[in-house]
Chains A and B, each alone.
Chain A
Amino acid sequence: NAGVTQTPKFRILKIGQSMTLQCAQDMNHNYMYWYRQDPGMGLKLIYYSVGAGITDKGEVPNGYNVSRSTTEDFPLRLELAAPSQTSVYFCASSQTLNTGELFFGEGSRLTVL
């Protein structure tokens, strides 16, 4: 059982480039989330989804876009990368929205130079 899988694990971008962070879960969870974690800080929610075709903004959505065409996949798109987007990105999923466990991926470390 793979759980939540993120790719790539590491990536270096130049300012202005774009890329997509991939996230897939095999637990048939309706709820999926993208967080970013800056050094020494907690996690901040970027976007979340309550099901295929439904997404909504979290605390820090600027500079990012998401889509949810299937239950399994929840890619995060970075447009026009900026140094402020240098961070570790975590994808997560949950069976319920309000209680229970968030299952996290291993993270994607992104550096924008």
Chain B
Amino acid sequence: LAKTTQPISMDSYEGQEVNITCSHNNIATNDYITWYQQFPSQGPRFIIQGYKTKVTNEVASLFIPADRKSSTLSLPRVSLSDTAVYYCLVGAEGYSTLTFGKGTMLLVSP
């Protein structure tokens, strides 16, 4: 299983773009990269998933370089409501084996 490393915490201000990078040096050929968001006292919520290059949806963008050893979740113009924990998951064997680590605690201030 590919191990992931992401910052424990990040700080930002409203209106800024936030980039959270996840390292996964031993990612396998079939592995997908998935990001989840979790607010206090709630279950995680799916944000975005990708395999290579760039994926964009209405909430975020996911940038994956050619070597796929890292990925960056980009949140455009964050607001206070984006304060949450963000998890990076890597794997292809399925959710039965993917690990939610401690994630990155993003704090957005006014």
Contacts and interface: CB of A to CB of B under 8 A. Distances in A.
B49 interface: yes
Given A97-B94, A102-B36, A102-B95, A92 B102 contact: no
A107 B38 CA distance: 12
Interface in B60-99: 87, 92-96, 99
Contacts of A104: 42-45
B52 to A, nearest CB: 14
Chain B: number of interface residues, binned into ranges = 20 to 34
A4 B45 CA distance: 12
Secondary structure type dominating chain B contacts: loop
Contact of B42 (A56, A99, A101, A106): A106
Nearest to A98: B94
Interface residues of A, number: 30
B101 interface: yes
Contact of B49 (A44, A56, A99, A106): A99
A102 B44 contact: yes
Given A35-B100, A48-B95, A92-B43, 10 more contacts: A33-B96, A40-B102, A42-B87, A42-B101, A99-B34, A102-B95, A104-B42, A104-B43, A104-B44, A107-B42
21 contacts: A33-B95, A40-B102, A42-B87, A42-B99, A42-B101, A42-B102, A42-B103, A43-B100, A44-B100, A50-B96, A90-B44, A97-B96, A98-B95, A99-B32, A99-B34, A102-B36, A102-B44, A104-B44, A104-B45, A106-B42, A107-B42
Interface of A: 4, 31, 33, 35, 40-45, 48, 50, 56, 58-59, 88, 90, 92, 94, 97-107
